A and B are shown apart, each in its own frame.
Chain A
Amino acid sequence: MDELDLLKKDWQSDDSRNETKLSVKEIYPMMHKKSSSIVKTLFYISIAELLFWLVLNLYPYFASDKYREELAVMYGNSTMLLALSILSSLVIVVFVFLLFKSYKSISVTDSAKKLMENILNTRKIIKYYVIYSLVMAFVSVIIGIYYTLYHNPEVSKQFAEFSDKQMFVATTLMVLFTLVFILVFWLFYRIIYGILLKRLNRNYNELKKLEV
């Protein structure tokens, strides 16, 4: 007899084995408990990320008048700053829409493979959002450094005493520092998602391997 058939016989004959048979009364409260599913965690992380970058984007408008003026000087005029903020807010709206659509497509009644694909797709949207935010952060820091060095009267005066070589070293260091900072951020994201989706990725790859 095939081993699995022996197991099947036992498996199907043991309907009464469950010593933990739950009553209707015990099931009721279970239905309304909070889910701790991967999708829910992913949802909270994406909301946190959207809010984090949104607050960072809007920061200049909540900051002091003086800081806003300084920023306006740096960017040449405040219209430029406003345009940039509107653009980034628009990008956020697009990402929120895509995320919403993606979350709606996740259904526990799909096949296992389809369900995994939809979750991984949602994760991809969050990933693109994070990449976009990090690139934007990097670009704005670089623009910030450039304008501070060349357009901020006080800072330019100090740097004017620097030789070309010193200036080059200082700029390179600042860029490198920003780059490292951004990379650390990226690594942090990778670790969070890596831990969260490790099992899902493994199972998805196992299913995909079958189709090759």
Chain B
Amino acid sequence: MNGFIKMAKLDFATMKSQFWAYLSLVAIIVLFWTMGSSVVLLCTSGAWFTALMAINIFAIQEKNGLDRLYGSVSVKLKEIVLGHMFLCF
């Protein structure tokens, strides 16, 4: 398996605890949509909040010392960065 895919999988596992927060965000967007908010506004604010939540990966990485995990497994720095970017976007 490609190192980038492995890293993306690891990042998804890292963000697993944030799953409910993402689901709440979707619920809020759906709620506003049913209340008649504009689709453009909902998409913009939804994308904004999703991006904000996605960068949580860096906070989790810092808090749990994941740099050492990345350093001990067989992935290249480039693949670590690509994995993070994939998750964020």
A and B are interacting partners:
no
Chain B residues engaging chain A, CB cutoff 8 angstroms:
none
